[in-house]
Structure 1
């Protein structure tokens, strides 16, 4: 179960600690907001009103309020700022999950979101990405795969193109979208204003930290662009280099993110890794 930092709970939930919630949430925040309000209206409003050439004070105040409301809505719902801020707050004040148990079991479920890695394969071979996609496509029967992000290298991007043609021939309809290549850009939730694409450059193939960052971008993209929750997705780390697999594992070391791989035994069954967590305070912050 996800636990929150006790200080945050005391501030945001009056039932946890009423005195702390009242002092911080009511008194402190009120004093801060009143101070900012007085600073603006008493010192900056006359200058701004003159610059905008607005004579009526009530009209000026209405314009300011509307502009501020619109700016806040844009900041929250249009830009990735809120997700970036949330990640920073969690890292600073939150708790660190630590693994206590790992189980492996055959994967029977299908997911609407899939992350796969495209390796270089021969034309007639079934790649791990193809095997994973066909499982979650489920023959087109509901529930089935809706979006698949295929992480490619510069050498394997052409293989992803061939895979898309092959899957269409096998009946993969327009109900499932495959995203891959250097023309598919995503906002980076951890680096405000930066973007990454799904084609990994040659000098980054063996950098697990970059792959971790890329996978985090995919999860953020799935949420903002396609309204997919992390629990509705699964990441397959079978294909690609060992460093790429390590990066996927690092990115998915949270309770909400699911992991799968293709067994190398028997009929290449899909296996899910179930990781149990306990949360302990992060003393490094």
Structure 2
């Protein structure tokens, strides 16, 4: 509310609020009461809500976590967006869906969006569109794979979280998706001795040691001086697609050679800082 009022006082006209109910960098899920308060404030100020729900079908503990959609509370004021690569399709298949309110205003927004996408030439390729339509029907085979993939990433994310905490760093427990956000601020002195003073240098430092992309917090709008990075569970499973398919069917994916080796490398790199 303070931000909206400040922008208006400066002559701006804020019209949209973008929310992520299941967050990408942190792998966390917004508490329903917090989400309700944010949406209530936004609607009260006349803002339209864009709800990014890309990761809502990737809950690590679906019986313990409740992903509440703003569209369930204010269906006429919310457009739901989700990237199918979050749960249903391979990451290399670019396809996403937006669901607009069933109102005259929603129809107008949809028409303007289609016009912009058409002008940009942003069309889904035919084969990908057919596969996406199939996945959106959620047949048994797709649903089973989504459930297995969520359980797999949950297992690996829990191990990564343990490694981060054991090194003396901080991270919120991951609850969805394939990422978690590590704060290495408590290790600032040790990192400083290695020439690491900000998230850009931390990204390079860990990336070299892990041989994996480790994007720094500055890429997600965090301040450069904060020593935070996003850790991705996907690359820890091995190169796609054969090894990742093997991981889906393993009794304990942490015992697979490629996963165990990747986790050991990560653990060693973090332990080295202490």
Q: TM-score, normalised by structure 1?
A: 0.27
Q: TM-score, normalised by structure 2?
A: 0.27
Structure with bigger strand share is: 1
Which structure has the higher relative contact order (CA within 8 Å, separation 6+)? 1
Return the index of the structure with the highest Cα Rg. 1
